[in-house]
A and B are shown apart, each in its own frame.
Chain A
C-alpha cells in the first residue's frame, strides 16, 4: 500500500517541501503497518497515545503519588526512605483550628492566612481578568486602525518572564519608584504602595492581570473570529440592538472559549507565585502571602524545612483545583446540553 498523500499538479516550492514529508511517511509506513497487524485497528489508538501517557505518567502522576507519600511523613529529612511515616498527622496539623476564619486560632496560622489571601486573590483576579480579556478581545475584534500593532501591545507582557514582570512593577511601585516620582512631580503626596496592605494586594492582582491578560485575550479573540459574520448581519437586518446581539449571539457562541479561559485563569490564579514573590515577597507582613509561597517556604526556604507539611498543603491545593475545574466543566456541559435542546 502506498502512502495516501494527495498529489498536487505543478512544481515549485510547495512540491519541494513535500519531498521530505513523503520520505518520512514512506519510511514509517511499513513498520506502522506491521504494528497494526499485531495490535489490530483498535490497538492503534493505544499505540499512538502511549508515549504521551508515559510522559504524563512520569512527570505528572508519579510526582503526584510521591508528593502524596511525602504528605504522610514527618521530620526534616529530604529523602522519602529516611522519613518517618506519620499517617494523616500533617493534614490534622493543617486543619487544627479553633476558628477557620481567624488564622491566629490555628496551629498553622500562616497556612490559613495564605488560604484566605489566595481565596480573595482568586475571586478578584479571575473575575477582573475575564472581564478585561473579554473587553479587550471585543475591542481588538473591531476594525481598528493598526489592529495588529494593538494586538502585539496587549500580548507583549505575556512574553516577559514573571521575574522581569515583578521587577518592572517593583521599580514602578516602590517608595522611590516611577509612580511616586510622577506623583511628586505633579505636586501630589507620594505613597508607600508596597508597604500598604490594601495597595500591595491590589498591586499583585493588577500586575498578574497585566502580565497574563494578553494570552487570554488571544484565546477569546480566536473565538470571536470564528463566529460567522452572517449571524450578526441577520441580527442587524432584524433590528437587533448591539447589546442584545452580544448577549444572544456573541456570548453563547464564545462560551466554549470562555470556559477554557475560566479554567486556565483559575488554575493560574490559585498557583500564583513568581511575580508576587519578586514584587512583594508576600508582604507587608503576610498580606500577599499566597498558598504556593507558603508551600515553597515551608518545604524549601525556612530553616529546618518540613517537606511533609508542604506536601500536605500542596495536595489540598490540588484537590481544591480539581473540584473547581470539575464544577466548571460540569456547568459548561450543562450549558451546552441546554443549548442543544433549544
Chain B
C-alpha cells in the first residue's frame, strides 16, 4: 500500500512539473527567407537568459506550412503562441489583442501604428503584433550579364516592355535560359497590374471584376511566357495557388532579370557572394505608374495561447527598439519600426551590392501607389491573389486562353466571396 502511494505521489509530482513547464512555454512558428531564423534564435536565447521562467520554443518551418497548415490549426483553435505570417488581415480574427497585455501600448501605436491595420479586424484598435520586416516588390538584374552582353541596364523610368526587350537581348547574347522571371505569386503579379492601371477594390469594398489595366498586363505576361521572354518553369511548375520563387535561377546566374522583392537581398548577398554583380532596380513602369507592391511578414500573437502574459513579454522584447534595430541590421531587412527608421540603420554586411540594393528598395518605396499601400490591409487580397495565380498559370501552360482565364478569375473570386457568406 505504501509502495502504491509512493508511486502515485511520484506520478502526481511528475505531472505537476510537466504542466508547470508547459505553463511557461511560448511556441513560435517561424519561417525564414534567409538568415533571420538564426538571428532570432540568438535573440531569444538572450531573452531566456534574462527571463528564466519563460521557455521560448522556436519552430522553424517552411513558408508553405505557414500558408497551408497554420490556417487549419487556427480554425481548429490550436496553433502556436506566436507566428510569423504574411496573410495577416484575412486571419486577423485569430490574433490576440496585446493592447491590455503589453508594457506600453502607446509605444506600439507610435512605432508600429502605420501597419497595425494590416493585422487587425476592421474597425478595431487591437494590437496584434508588429511587422518583422517591410517588403517592397521589385526587380533584380544580373549586372555581369548585361555588361558582358554590352546592353545598358534600363533606367529608372524603364517600362516592363523595355525590360523584356533588354533582358531577351542579354539572354540571347549570353546563352542564358531565362531572360525574365516573376515569382509564382499573386502578390508579385499585382505590382505590375497596378502599374498598368488595375484596381482590385470595388465601390462596396469587395473584389471588383478584373479591369482593363490588369487584363493588359496579364495578357502581356502570358505572351512573354509563350515566347520565352518570361521563364515558364516557375509558372507552370505547379497547379493551384502554390507559391514558387525563381531565386535559385537568379543565384545560379541562369536568369537576366528577376522580379521578386527586398526580402531576397540577404539571400542574394549570402549565396551569390562575388560570383557576379547584381543590382536592385525597383519596379518597372506601366502606363499608369511605376509601383511595386508593399507587404511583409508580421509577428502576431495567437489568441488561443494558454500563456498570454508570457507571450506579451516575448512580443514586448522582440518589438523593443534595440532588438528591432539589431534584428534588421543583422538580417538586412527593412524594419517597420518608426523610431528605428528615423534614427537610421547600419546594416551588418560587407557586401556593397546588398547595401546599394537596400537603398534602392527604400527609394522604390517612394513610388508606391496608394492602392499598393492599401492592398496588404484589404480583407480580400489573398483571395484575389490565389485566383490570379491559379488561372494565369493555366493560361501560361496553354490550357486555356487568356480571356477564358479572365472569366475564371472573376467567377472564382465571386464564388469565394459567396462561400464566405459575405
Contact = CB atoms under 8 A, between A and B. Distances in A.
A304 B72 CA distance: 11
B408 A303 contact: no
Contact of B397 (A176, A284, A305): A284
Interface in A174-200: 175-176, 192, 194-195, 197
A171 interface: no
Contacts of B68: 300-301
Given A75-B420, A303-B382, A303-B385, A281 B397 contact: no
A259 interface: no
Interface residues of A, number: 35
B90 A303 contact: yes
Interface in A264-289: 280-289
Interface residues of B, number: 40
A109 B240 CA distance: 12
Contacts of B87: 303
Interface in B249-297: 252, 254
B398 interface: yes
B45 interface: no
B71 interface: yes
Contact of A192 (B76, B233, B393, B408): B233
A328 to B, nearest CB: 30
Contacts of A284: 232, 236-237, 397
Contacts of A79: 75-76
Count chain B CB atoms within 10 A of each CB in A192, A197, A281 and give the residue with the most. A281
A302 interface: yes
Contacts, number: 103
A36 interface: no
A74 interface: yes
Contact of B419 (A74, A176, A286, A289): A74
Contacts of A303: 87, 90, 241, 382-383, 385-386, 416
B346 interface: no
A158 interface: no
Contact of B394 (A84, A281, A285, A288): A285
Contacts of B396: 285
B404 interface: yes
B360 to A, nearest CB: 29
A287 B382 CA distance: 24
Nearest to B237: A283
A85 to B, nearest CB: 13
Contacts of B237: 194-195, 280-281, 283-284
Interface string B394-409: 1011111000100010
Contacts of A293: 239-240
Contact of A75 (B232, B233, B383, B421): B421
Given A78-B72, A78-B75, A195-B236, A283 B241 contact: no
Contact of B238 (A78, A176, A197, A282): A282
B154 interface: no
Contacts of B419: 74-76, 304, 306
Contacts of B242: 281-282, 301
A300 B71 CA distance: 8
Given A286-B397, A303-B385, 4 more contacts: A78-B72, A192-B233, A280-B238, A304-B386
A-B residue pairs, 6 tightest by C-beta: A285-B397, A282-B239, A281-B238, A78-B75, A284-B236, A303-B382
8 contacts: A75-B419, A195-B237, A283-B237, A286-B397, A287-B397, A300-B69, A302-B241, A304-B416
Interface of B: 67-69, 71-72, 75-76, 87, 90, 177, 232-233, 236-242, 244, 252, 254, 382-383, 385-386, 390, 393-394, 396-400, 404, 408, 416, 419-421
